[in-house]
Amino acid sequence: MKKLKPLALLFLGALLFSSCKKSVENEPDLAEYGNHPRSAVPPEMVGQWIYGSFSLSSIVDNNGTWSSEYSLTYVLEPNGTCREYFQYANQPSYGLLYQVRGLRKGTVVVDTDAKTISFYAASGWYDVRRNYGSVERKTYGEADLYPTYFREYQYENTTDDKGRPALRLIDVNSSNTSGLLYTKS
């Protein structure tokens, strides 16, 4: 019995030590999000926020003519990481179609006192498709990431015309002082 007691204590210690190990299986690769400033995101702001709409089936309007479509989406996580998605489609002339979609990953700082959100892009890519041809993927370079690409918004918590939660984001570097309404999905 005396020999089993030290063995049992050793086993118990190993079990306790292994249970303290942090699980990173479901956590994002934070290196892709950069080592830029970040803050916790308030619970009411966590989630996916969409401006605009995008559907390849609705690029043609009811009159059979092509229209432009644009959407911009921010996905805010509680830990201050953020993904920015965009999609754009247009048929400028001669029946040619131009589509671009992309993703930037980065961090956000939400200042609830100043009512600002700052987005620091660290990595990303975009796809370009012309004339229904193949898709060309490109990686964002320095000009498309922080510090050159930096977004700072004034924000207002509000609702859309259907009563759904929304954020009005006003780019502090834009002349558009009414901002854009992002609906939570």
DSSP string, 148-161: TSEEEEEEEEEE-T
Residue 179 has phi, psi (to 5 degrees) of: 75, -175
The residue with greater pLDDT, 159 or 66, is 159
Interval 96-122: pLDDT, tens: 777 888 999 999 999 999 999 999 999
Give me the pLDDT at residue 2, please: 53
Name the token pair of 128. Answer: 């370009």
> What confidence score (pLDDT) does residue 114 get?
98
Give the pLDDT score at 99. Answer: 84
Of 165, 146, 53, nearest in space to 106 by CA: 146
Tell me, what amino acid is at 73?
Answer: T
Average pLDDT of the segment spanning 19-27: 42
| Residue 128 predicted with pLDDT over 70 | yes
Burial grade of 100 (CB within 10 A; 0-12, 13-18, 19 or more): middle
On the question of pLDDT at 14 being above 50, the answer is no
CA distance 126 to 149: 15
User: Which is higher by pLDDT, 58 or 117?
Assistant: 117
* Matching residue, tokens 């854009």: 180
> Is the pLDDT assigned to residue 26 strictly greater than 60?
no
- The pLDDT of residue 69 is 77
Integer-rounded Cα Rg, in Å, for the chain is 23
Residue 115 pLDDT:
98
Which pLDDT band, with edges at 50, 70 and 90, does 93 fall under? low
d(CA 150, CA 96): 32
> What whole-number distance in Å separates Cα of residue 46 and Cα of residue 40?
10
Written as one string, the DSSP assignment of 90-134 is E--STT--EEEEEEEEEEEEEETTTTEEEEEEEEEEEEEEETT--
For residue range 131-148, what is the model confidence (pLDDT) as tens digits?
777 788 999 999 999 999
**Higher-confidence position of 53 and 14:** 53
State the average pLDDT over residues 40-45.
98
What residue ranges do the domains of the chain occupy? Answer: 30-184
